[in-house]
Chain A
Amino acid sequence: MEFEERKLHTVIASEQYLVRLGVKTLLNVIGIESDLHEVGTFDELEYFLQKDENMDYLILSEDILQKQRKPDCLEYVKNSFGLNTTILIGKQQFSNCVCDHFISNSCSRKEVVDKLQQFFYAPKANEQQEEDSHTLSDREKDVLKAVALGFSNKEIADQLFISINTVITHRKNITSKLGIKTISGLTVYALMHHIIKAEEAM
């Protein structure tokens, strides 16, 4: 049996309510299941970072940084939080910005979605890369099979005795290994590779 994973925590920091709302909506669209926390000022963010050490992701809008001192503020966030899990939203990227992930205000919907997906699904620097990043592990095959047969995340979790979050992580990994996002695409893959039989897929 696998470890019960704890829920992910994401902080959305912006002065603007509309920006926070927009980010929340898009996270929903790309299927990020995470506890979301909103902060509206830099002080609040500081307080949050000090008090809560369990933050996984930070989505940071430029407007919240103190004017004149934006690079310093980022430096501070970096030291207290680590920046491979921070994405910055703003007008343009500062020169030698310490933050790798960046969304420009002028990005289209598609670009924003792509960037958020990269941000959340990209392997973290400290996570070990699997040896062969394209072959599915046995467990992933089990999950893929269940997905192709049309079971929901909840049902798969129950069948395989794992948490829903673990199912979601497996699904993310399957999608990034295969480059296939839709359920029907995954079903075709599973059929092609005899992970399920044609009679079962009916």
Chain B
Amino acid sequence: MVSFTKNSKMAEIILKNYQLLPIISRFGIKLGFGNKTVEEICANKNVNAAFFLEILNSYHNSNYFPDNHLGDFDVDVMVDYLTNTHTYYLKSKVPHIELFIDKMEREAQEENSRNINLLKHFFNEYKTDIENHFKEEEKHIFPYVIDLEKTLSTNNCSRELIDKIKHEPIEVYERNHDSLEIKLADLKNLIIRFLPPLSCEDDCEHLLTELFQLEYDIEEHTRMEEKVLIPKVKMLEQKVLEYYGV
């Protein structure tokens, strides 16, 4: 599969794969590209083009592995993106899904409405799970990552940071990074296999489409964390330790 480059036309990229739409909006890039290239648009919007391309390419092609370009951008760019993605899930995707579930609950017959209510509770639980997962990352992991980079650029390293690298490196987080997709898969299965047929088929279809998309997106998000963020943080940890000779 061909990868996109900084000279690719933004419009052509989206025409080729419309699923990239939510990605570009996470970078604050809006439609109406004309014939501008990725490089031009990124310069305009103050977006790091190298990083933007890594995200586009790995989202577009799941075999794409961004190892050659790890050095081309700072982690704070990546942390920004991941945080934006969290917000996108919680503020845009989740409410959307809730809306469809609510609508289905209202329109279903009594017995089925009870079933949908169960699914609603299940999804609520899932929502709490991902909220906690994201909160943990934003409160503890991301600031740590930023600290590492700052330390290297300012030559100013705190004792605590060294302690943290030694006792609680990113590897600990990597080992406990749990999967956010299992419950979503369960929800899809419950709907596809076990929910008695509904009269509002359209809503149900939309709901399922949303769930499939969210699942794909979250998988991709996890892949970014595991294949790009973590290797990069490991590299930084190493550098800090070497620099301070510990």
Binding site for B on A (CB under 8 A): 108-110, 178-182, 184-185, 188-189, 191-193
Q: Which residue of A108, A179, A184 contacts B193 across the interface (Cβ within 8 Å)? A: A179
Q: Which residue of A108, A110, A184, A185 contacts B189 across the interface (Cβ within 8 Å)? A: A185
Contact of B15 with A by CB under 8 A: no
Chain B contact-residue range equals 20 to 34
Contact A181 B122 (CB under 8 A): no
Contacts of B187 in A (CB 8 A): 185
Chain B residue at minimal CB-CB distance from A113: B179
New A-B contacts (13) at CB < 8 Å, excluding given A108-B223, A188-B121:
A109-B226, A110-B219, A178-B189, A179-B189, A180-B189, A180-B190, A181-B182, A181-B185, A185-B186, A189-B194, A192-B115, A192-B118, A192-B190
Q: Which residue of B125, B194, B223 contacts A184 across the interface (Cβ within 8 Å)? A: B125
Distance in angstroms from B239 CB to nearest chain A CB is 24
A109-B226, A189-B190, A189-B194 in contact; A182/B183 too (CB < 8 A)?
Answer: yes
Contact B190 A184 (CB under 8 A): no
Contacts of B11 in A (CB 8 A): none
Chain B stretch 51-98: residues in CB contact (< 8 A) with chain A:
none
Distance in angstroms from B224 CB to nearest chain A CB is 13
Ranked nearest first, the 9 interchain pairs of A and B with the lowest CB-CB distance are A185-B186, A179-B189, A180-B186, A188-B118, A188-B122, A192-B115, A182-B186, A181-B182, A191-B118
Contact A181 B118 (CB under 8 A): no
> Cα distance A33–B51 when bound, in Å?
43
Chain B stretch 119-162: residues in CB contact (< 8 A) with chain A:
119, 121-122, 125
Contact A192 B194 (CB under 8 A): yes
Contacts of A108 in B (CB 8 A): 223
13 contacts between A and B (CB under 8 A): A110-B179, A179-B185, A181-B185, A181-B186, A184-B183, A185-B122, A185-B187, A185-B189, A188-B186, A191-B118, A192-B118, A192-B194, A192-B195
Binding site for A on B (CB under 8 A): 115, 118-119, 121-122, 125, 179, 182-183, 185-187, 189-190, 193-195, 219, 223, 226
A188-B118, A188-B122 in contact; A182/B194 too (CB < 8 A)?
Answer: no
Contacts of B194 in A (CB 8 A): 178, 189, 192-193
> Cα distance A189–B195 when bound, in Å?
9
> Cα distance A121–B189 when bound, in Å?
18
Chain A residue at minimal CB-CB distance from B190: A188
Distance in angstroms from B99 CB to nearest chain A CB is 20
> Cα distance A182–B219 when bound, in Å?
18
Contacts of B190 in A (CB 8 A): 180, 185, 188-189, 192
> Cα distance A109–B225 when bound, in Å?
13
Distance in angstroms from B184 CB to nearest chain A CB is 10
Contacts of B193 in A (CB 8 A): 178-179
Contacts of A109 in B (CB 8 A): 226
Contacts of A193 in B (CB 8 A): 194
Distance in angstroms from A85 CB to nearest chain B CB is 26
Distance in angstroms from A2 CB to nearest chain B CB is 28
Contact A182 B182 (CB under 8 A): yes
Chain B residue at minimal CB-CB distance from A179: B189
Distance in angstroms from A128 CB to nearest chain B CB is 24
Contact B119 A188 (CB under 8 A): yes
> Cα distance A191–B115 when bound, in Å?
8
